[in-house]
Amino acid sequence: MSFNPAELQTWRVLAECNPAFDETPREYHAAGLTLDLTTAGYDDETQKKLFALAKERNWFAARDFLMEGGIVNPSENRAALHTALRARSEDVHRSVKDEVKNELIALRKCMNLVQTLGAIDIIHVGMGGSGLAPMFLRSFFQGFIGQKYRLHIVVNADPSTLLKIKQQCDPRKTIVVVASKTFMTDETMLVATHLRTWLGDLNRMFAVTGEPAGAVAFGVPADNVMGYPAWLGGRFSLWGSVVFPVLLAFGNAPFEELLHGARTMDEHFATAPIEKNLPVLFALAHIWQRNFMHCSSHAVLPYADALRHFPVYIQQLEMESNGKASPVATASVNYGGVGTTVQHSFMQWLHQGTEKSYSDFIIVDKLPGEEELAVFLRNSVLAQSSALAHGAPPEFPGGRPSNLIFMEELSSFTLGALLALYEHKVYLEAHIWGINCFDQPGVELGKRLTRKIGEGQTPRSTAKRLARYKS
């Protein structure tokens, strides 16, 4: 019988609590971030009851189990040690210390090799996290760091996109990177096969994979293969060699700062008490908003163009991790966009729609450029958060929660901390709900059915749909 959080005594107590927007300041600080839960929708008494829920679920034991390399992914019998890739070398978990060291050696070797190839363009092929991670980091770093190479990222098997990229590149001055944990992802290998033919010289092809033999059999030189550990999930692959093309394009320094920021948040998560622990506080705020305020969706709203791909990145992290069945509501529909742009689109729905959404506003304290514009962005966030909470009855009902995250500055360090904050938050939510946030059986189902259709094994309704392509 599956675990039911609603049967917990602390859950039942929380179910009797009412939302509150009492304007009591609730600000918490760590790793260059400030988490402001003033408009999260609860008062001090409810917050104490949320702490009691976390304690009844032994949140600290769950945290330690993750950080110490426990089997947190029982369906695949795996640990989730993405934090090891950003730890200090002396702190890397003993079970993966050699693997992490060897991965870094292979990464540096391949980076040095690329310098000898006279490349101008890099084409990176990766689906899911293997594509979203470099795409997101590229969009962030482009805002303040010059590029050494032109970087093209293929995240979909769209032939028109691939054609356009090939038209922009000279195969004699291009390297191709194929990122696939299994080296069997259908769309990845389909695109890679076409690029292999186009490239010609396979010394210009590199791979990031957990199956090096498969990459070599495909034609990638053995010296051009980097690792992809079994304990590193796709939606956490940003911390590993999947971002190889980003390191080539922007250099090591910004990525080292990214790791430093994430490591600082990891250390905070591992040591801070519940009353000051940002990932715990963030997870409990979202659980309150999702399960007790009954918000059906979650908006992620960065007010900085450099974070324009952050909502899509978090969409995968949250929905693929926690979009699992449970007796209680789990991950909600997750969407977002850059403010103030979204104030002219779906924010109308946020204020007056018939369903409630909870929102995360992300604002940078110190943005480069004109101070007047930065002040306007900050004022816009504060206005939106206040309007959602308090409204203007009767037309605007209010009562809609939001959480504010202030980044001290737009830097790799604060981005690393922000990513680690969301990762640990997602894990704690899953623990409280009693689900596994590290597998993705729904994704695997879709892959299996796609292969069956390709083999001609189709239900009658699907066969009729296929007929239009054969007529």
CA distances from 358 to 29, 324, 361 (A): 21, 19, 10
Q: Which residues pair with 174 in a beta bridge?
A: 121
CA–CA gap between residue 71 and residue 65 (Å, rounded): 8
Write out the H or E segment, with its range, that includes residue 451.
helix 441-454
CA distances from 366 to 290, 374, 395, 407 (A): 31, 8, 35, 8
CA–CA gap between residue 167 and residue 171 (Å, rounded): 10
Q: Which residues participate in catalysis according to the annotation?
A: 320, 344, 447
CA–CA gap between residue 92 and residue 89 (Å, rounded): 6
Cis bond before residue 330 (omega within 30° of 0):
no
CA–CA gap between residue 205 and residue 184 (Å, rounded): 17
CA–CA gap between residue 298 and residue 277 (Å, rounded): 22
CA–CA gap between residue 272 and residue 259 (Å, rounded): 20
Q: Which residues pair with 153 in a beta bridge?
A: 124
CA distances from 222 to 204, 216, 262, 298 (A): 12, 6, 31, 44
CA–CA gap between residue 292 and residue 328 (Å, rounded): 10
CA 107, 315, 367: angle at the middle one, nearest 5? 75
CA–CA gap between residue 458 and residue 367 (Å, rounded): 54
DSSP state of 73: B
DSSP state of 38: T
Cis bond before residue 394 (omega within 30° of 0):
yes
| Neighbouring C-alpha atoms within 13 Å toward the C-beta of 218 | 31
